[in-house]
Each structure stands twice: as structure tokens, then as C-alpha cells.
Amino acid sequence: MSLNVLITGGAGFIGRHLSQQLAADGGLVTVLDNFSRQIHGSKPPPTHLSYVNRLIVGDIRDRIVVEDAIKGQDVIVHLAAETGTGQSMYEILQYEGVNINGTAVLLDCLLNDCHRTAKRLVVASSRAIYGEGAYSCAVHGTVYPGARLVKDMELGAFEPRCPVCNHFCQSIPTSEVAPLAPTSFYGLTKQVQEQMVLMFAKTLGIAAFALRYQNVYGPGQSLQNPYTGILAIFSNLAREGKPINVFEDGQESRDFVYIDDVVQATTACIYSDLVGSHRFNVGSGLSTTVLQVAKATVAHFASSSELTVTGAFRIGDIRHNTASLFKVASELNYQPKWSFQEGLTAFLHWAKQEGASSEGYERSLVEMRSKGLLLGEGTR
């Protein structure tokens, strides 16, 4: 299908894969990206990308750049954002500026451009907007705990408590009707970003989709950005034979979703006939513990890295997450195709060919300790 599609942040991990798929489908893709050093390194930005029709090197907060980028577009996919729960807790103005102000600039341009052609808007939201998400209490059924207590975690009690009876409770899949209660500033900015897009899309009279991505991974993700996830961190440490320290008790879990499945869900929104505003979880529907990931990574590389479960914890982290996929399966016919084992193997095979450096991760730990955001055993 021939569509003109603008992807903000389109040179990033998800954006590159999405651009390539849309180009293969016959779309004309424009990418707007500022080539952040934290993600792309210190190399100068390219002058073109082979799989896109037009590359614009610029900032989502620059109104002149954004006004130019939206011209003639049928669809806008808004991926441009700062990511990382830990970093967001001290780089507050940076996260506010890019995630919230950048989105405001995009929407303001759309609202005030009399020649606007976009009929569909997709925004990358995040499961972080749920905070802890849904849990089951033996007494009160489905509940939604708030942020965990530092005094509990200092004693090694990492599970959330029921907000009614204060007993520990068990994680269950979180659906789109769950209340929004982010525990990190990153999560809060994604919540505001999502709500802004859906609100103003209604004003514009265009279809809008907020995709609540879970933990996205796969070949091509940044290995030098310490805020892109534990798979990149563990693969770097394992290849260098350095110790791998696992936070909490290692039983914290995540819903890891492979990049191809994320592209599947995103393109489904782009080509969908749905009108109005929609919110969808995009995940695998399954959870994997952090300790399982660490062990599998060390085994894949036959690494000499020593695994230690430290009991340390980060302020703003959640304990578990698993996405309910009922809504996205019903309305977009989305079904994840990649198992975690298949996806992890593909990612680690790719990572093996790339350079490994854990310096950025080690710096990030120093920063978090200095801000009082990394606590517990093993933080010294």
C-alpha cells in the first residue's frame, strides 16, 4: 500500500525496522531523528538512509523542522522520545523536554497547519504507564498496588502489597483498562504523551493509536545505551567476561516482545480501517524472570561471567509485568509469532558480531548511586 509515512525517531531501533517494512510494502517513508549520542554514539549523522525516501536530521522540539516534516504525510508514527526509567528520575528536564514538549510541538503544528494531510497518528506509549499493573490478592481479587515500599525491599521483600489489606499479592496480566499509576518519571511522561495524542487526534478528527509497548528487544537495538534494557547490558557483560549483578532476588519479571512482533502491531495500526482513538498493549503475553535472562545469556556465550543476585534495587522499578493481549488480538488480529527463546537466540547471535562495551552501564550505576536511586546490598 502506497502511503506517505513520517516516523519521528525513525533512525532508532523500532523506527529502523518499521521503516524497512513500510518501504518493502511500497510506502514512502520520511524519517525525522536527532541522532542522539546516547543511542547512536559519536559518529556524525548520515546524509541518507537507503530504506527511506527522505531523512531529516533535526529535533522534535524544533518547530520549523517539524512543520516541514509533516507536509504531505498520510500517517505519522511518533517514536521520538527519551527512554529509561532510571535515568528519568534525575534527568527530569531532558525527559520533560523531549517526551512532553516535543509531542506538544508536533501536535501544535498539526493543529495549526491548514494544509495538514495526515489522517492517522500512532504514538509509542509504554507499559510503564501502568506502574505495577494488575495483581491478584487472595482476599480482594484483582488489585492495583502502588509503588513498593523501600523498607520492604531493604528487607528483601520485593513483591507488591495489596492496597486494601496490605498482604503481598501475585502478578497477573494487565489489560488496557488498568488504572494508570507510573512509578517513574519516564512512565509519567509516556502517560502524558499518550493522553495528549489521543486528545488532540479527536480534535483533529483523525484516527489515533497509543501502543503500550512492553520490553522490546531484538537485533539492531543499541548496545551502548545503558537504558535500552537488560538484554543489551547482559550481553555486553557476558562477552567481556565481567561479573553480572542481578538486582533484587532475580525473580522480577518482564514481558519481552521481539521487534518483528512490534512492527507487526504497528503496521496493523497504520493499515487499519479503525476510526477514533485506541489503546493497545503490544507484548508477548508471557513473563520471563531477569535471572532466567542472565543465565541464558551467560550460557549462550559460554561466558566466564560470575552471576550474583545482589538484593540491590532501583527506585522507580516495577516488580513484574505481563501484558493482556485480548484487546489487541480482537481488534487488530495481533498474535506474537516469536517465542522468547527464539528471539533471544536471534538477538545474541547478532550481538556476537557487534562490539561489546559495558562502560556506559557502569557509569549509569554510579550516577544512580550518587542520586540515592540505587539502594540495597551490592550497591557499593
Give the active site residues. 186
Distance, CA of 306 to CA of 244 (rounded, Å): 6
Sign of CA dihedral 321, 327, 330, 332: negative
Which strand (E) or helix (H) includes residue 364?
helix 359-370
Q: 214: which residues sit within 8 A by CB, 6+ positions away?
A: 127, 254, 255, 256, 257, 281, 282, 283, 284, 321, 323
Distance, CA of 170 to CA of 143 (rounded, Å): 10
Supply 286's cell numbers. Answer: 508471557
Q: 364: which residues sit within 8 A by CB, 6+ positions away?
A: 86, 87, 226, 227
Contact 55, 6 (CB under 8 A): no
DSSP secondary structure letter of residue 129: G
**257: Cα separation from own chain's centroid:** 10
Contact 279, 193 (CB under 8 A): no
DSSP secondary structure letter of residue 96: I
Sign of CA dihedral 246, 248, 249, 253: negative
Distance, CA of 248 to CA of 311 (rounded, Å): 4
